[in-house]
Amino acid sequence: MRKILLIKAHPKENSFCNALADKYLEGVNKSKNEAEILSLTDLDLEKFIKYEHKENPKLSADLLEAQKLITWANHLVFAYPTWWATPPALLKVFFEIIFHSGFAFKYQKSTGILPKWDKLLSDKSARVIVTMDSPPWYYKWFIGDPGFKMMKGSMNFCGIKPVYKNYFGSVKMSSEKQRKEWLEKIYKTGLKE
């Protein structure tokens, strides 16, 4: 049985991205898996945008709770839009603060030119549910898939793998029929997790 943490990272509550996340969760809830939700808009992250990076930042109760949920889960699901070719700033600051050294990874004493580290979240897998205004094929082949490279690289650094992806786009150019098909597809993904 999987313990799934759905991390909603779209800053706008009423978005198609969040509709996909909710439909995914509906599928998960029909399976035998457990699920929890973490909405990044509910967290106190603004003060960290201009903070001095520290090895162990002082986290508020809501951010400590987010770490507890990540520790509890064995499958993390991030739902977010692609803005300026990568995830939104809200998700980036979440990674910087929550996945800090000592929680998600720990540097070892090393010699030579390359650092060594322990991957403290290596018992987890992940999925990204991503909306975009460009067609996914264009994003992957012409732009180079930078958002997924960032997400996969960050998670792999902490030991989280494999990382699966579901892309939906162009949302801006999609019809109501297309959106219904996408909602059904992500529901089935949640059901199979």
Considering Cα of 84, then 79, then 11, then 124, what sign does the dihedral take?
negative
* Domains recognised in the chain with CATH numbers: 3-192 (3.40.50.360)
Strand partners, 86: 83
Q: Are strands 105-107 and 117-119 parallel, antiparallel or unpaired?
A: antiparallel
pLDDT tens digits along 113-147: 889 999 999 999 999 999 999 999 999 999 999 99
- The reported pLDDT for the residue numbered 49 is 78
Instruction: Compute the radius of gyration of the chain from its Cα atoms.
Output: 17
Q: What residues contact residue 30 under an 8 Å CB cut-off, 6+ apart?
A: 190, 191
pLDDT tens digits along 27-63: 999 998 999 999 999 998 888 877 656 667 789 999 9
How confident is residue 110, by pLDDT bands cut at 50, 70 and 90?
confident
pTM score: 0.95
Q: Is 25 exposed, middle or buried (0-12, 13-18, 19+ CB in 10 A)?
A: buried
